[in-house]
Amino acid sequence: QAYLDAIESANPSLNAYVAVTPEQATEMAKASDEKLAKGEGGALEGIPLGIKDLFATKGAHTQAASHILDGFKPEYESSVTANLWRDGAVMLGKLNMDEFAMGSSNETSYYGPVVSPFRAQGSNANLVPGGSSGGSAAAVAAWLCAGATATDTGGSIRQPAAFTGTVGIKPTYGRCSRWGIVAFASSLDQAGPIARTVEDAAILMTSMAGYDPKDSTSVDLPVPDFAAAVERGVKGLTIGVPREYRMDGMPEEIEALWKQGLEWLKAEGASVKDISLPHTKYALPAYYIVAPAEASSNLARYDGVKYGLRVSGKDITDMYELTRAAGFGREVKRRIMIGTYVLSAGYYDAYYVRAQKVRTLIKRDFETAFNDGVDAILTPATPSAAFGVGDEDMNADPVKMYLNDVFTVTVNMAGLPGIAVPAGKDGKGLPLGLQLIGKPFDEETLFAASRVIE
Ligand code: GLN
Specify which residues 275 forms β-bridges with. 242
pLDDT tier for residue 249 given thresholds of 50, 70 and 90: confident
* pLDDT of the residue at 186: 98
CA 241 to chain centre: 23
> Do the domain assignments include residue 154?
yes
- What pLDDT, on the 0 to 100 scale, is given for residue 248? 82
Binned at pLDDT 50, 70 and 90, residue 213 comes out as: very high
Work out the pLDDT band at 395, boundaries 50, 70, 90: confident
Q: How many whole angstroms from 213 Cα to the centroid of ligand 1? A: 27
Residue of the CA atom closest to atom 5 of ligand 1: 154
The CA 131 to ligand 1 mean position distance, Å, reads: 7
In a domain, 226, yes or no: no
Question: Using CA atoms, how far apart are residues 237 and 225, in angstroms rounded to an integer?
Answer: 20
Mean pLDDT of 286-312: 96
Together in a domain, 177 and 201: yes
Locate the ligand 1 atom nearest the alpha carbon of residue 133 and give its number: 9
pLDDT one-digit tens code per residue, 214-228: 999 999 999 999 999
> Would you state the pLDDT for residue 144?
98
Query: Do 197 and 328 sit in the same domain of this protein?
Result: no
pLDDT on residue 247: 84
**Closest ligand 1 atom, CA of 104?**
1
Q: Which atom of ligand 1 is nearest to the CA of 185?
A: 9
Give φ, ψ of 341 to 5 degrees: -65, -50
* 37 occurs within a structural domain: yes
Q: Average pLDDT, stretch 68-84?
A: 98
pLDDT in tens, 319-350: 999 999 999 999 999 999 999 999 999 999 99
Provide the b/e sequence for 218-235 (b: ≥16 CB within 10 Å).
bbeeebbebbebbeeebe
DSSP characters over 67-129:
GGGTT---SS--HHHHHHHHTT-EEEEEE--SGGG--SSS-S-TT-----S---TT----B--
Structural domain count, the chain: 2
What mean pLDDT comes out for the span 265-272? 98
Has residue 171 been placed in a domain?
Answer: yes
* Domain end position, chosen among 348, 368, 401: 348
- Taking the C-alpha atoms of residue 290 and residue 351, their distance in angstroms, rounded to an integer, is 9
Residue among 290, 405, 407, 408 to mutate when testing ligand 1 (max atoms within 8 A of CB): 405
Give the ipTM: 0.97
Predicted local confidence at residue 317, as pLDDT: 97
Could you tell me if 289 and 276 lie in one domain? no
Give CA–CA dist 147/8, Å, rounded. Answer: 17
Q: Which residues are catalytic?
A: 52, 132, 156
Q: How high does pLDDT run on average in the chain?
A: 97
367 assigned to some structural domain: yes
- With a Cβ cut-off of 6 Å, ligand 1 is lined by 101-104, 132, 152-156, 184, 291, 405
For residue range 165-193, what is the model confidence (pLDDT) as tens digits? 999 999 999 999 999 999 999 999 999 99
Is there a single domain that holds both residue 296 and residue 410? no
The CA 450 to ligand 1 mean position distance, Å, reads 23
What's the distance, Cα to Cα, between the start and end of the chain in Å? 29
**3-class state of residue 173 by DSSP:** coil
Q: 121 and 199, same structural domain?
A: yes
- Are 45 and 36 a contacting pair, CB within 8 Å? yes
Q: Is residue 224 part of a domain?
A: no
Answer with the one of 330, 348, 366 that is the final residue of a domain: 348
Tell me how far apart the alpha carbons of residues 267 and 405 are, in angstroms, rounded to a whole number. Answer: 30
250 has pLDDT over 90: no
Mutate to test the pocket of ligand 1, among 104, 188, 408 (most ligand atoms within 8 A of CB): 104
Closest CA to 184 of 331, 42, 26, 379: 331
Q: Both 318 and 421 in a single domain? A: no
Q: Which domain holds residue 39?
A: 1-217+236-282+357-454
Question: Identity (one letter) of the amino acid at 288?
Answer: Y
Which residue's alpha carbon is at the smallest distance from atom 10 of ligand 1?
A: 102
**From the alpha carbon of 409, which atom of ligand 1 is closest?**
5
Q: Give mean pLDDT, residues 417-439.
A: 97
Q: Which of 66, 133, 153, 189 to mutate to test the pocket of ligand 1 (most atoms within 8 A of CB)?
A: 153
CB 268 within 8 A of CB 232: no
Separation of 157 CA from ligand 1 center, angstroms?
9
Same domain, 306 and 200: no
Closest CA to 238 of 38, 445, 392: 445
CB 270 within 8 A of CB 234: yes
**96 & 212 share domain:** yes
In a domain, 225, yes or no: no
How many angstroms is it from 76 CA to the middle of ligand 1?
Answer: 25
Q: Domain check: are 44 and 12 in the same one?
A: yes
Distance (Å) of CA 255 to CA 61, 75, 155, 315: 42, 48, 20, 58
pLDDT at 61: 98
Which ligand 1 atom sits closest to the C-alpha of 188?
8
Residue 6 banded pLDDT, cuts 50, 70, 90: very high
- Mean pLDDT value across residues 90-103: 98
- Can you list the positions of beta strands (E) in 134-291? 147-152, 167-170, 190-195, 238-242, 271-275
Last residue of a domain, one of 327, 348, 369: 348
Tell me the per-residue pLDDT of 15-56, one tens digit each, with 9 for 90 and over: 999 999 999 999 999 999 999 999 999 999 999 999 999 999
pLDDT digits (tens, 9 = 90+) for 345-368: 999 999 999 999 999 999 999 999
CATH number, domain of 153, equals 3.90.1300.10
Cα 235 from Cα 336, distance rounded (Å): 47
At 89 the pLDDT is 98
- According to the model, what pLDDT value does residue 131 have? 97
Tell me the CA–centroid distance for residue 336 and ligand 1, in Å. 14
Residue 413 shares a structural domain with residue 441: yes
78 domain residue, yes or no: yes
What pLDDT, in 10s, does the model give residues 101-149? 999 999 999 999 999 999 999 999 999 999 999 999 999 999 999 999 9
Residue 400: what pLDDT?
Answer: 87
3-class state of residue 53 by DSSP: coil
Same domain? For 258 and 162 the reply is yes
Query: Which strands make up the sheet holding 167-170, listed edge to edge?
Result: 17-20, 90-95, 48-52, 147-152, 190-195, 167-170, 418-425, 431-438, 376-380, 238-242, 271-275
Instruction: Name the phi and psi angles at 20, rounded to 5.
Output: -110, 140
Q: Closest by alpha carbon to 237, among 370, 374, 367, 441?
A: 374
Q: How far apart are CA 16 and CA 113, in angstroms?
A: 8
Q: Say yes or no: 321 and 367 in one domain.
A: no
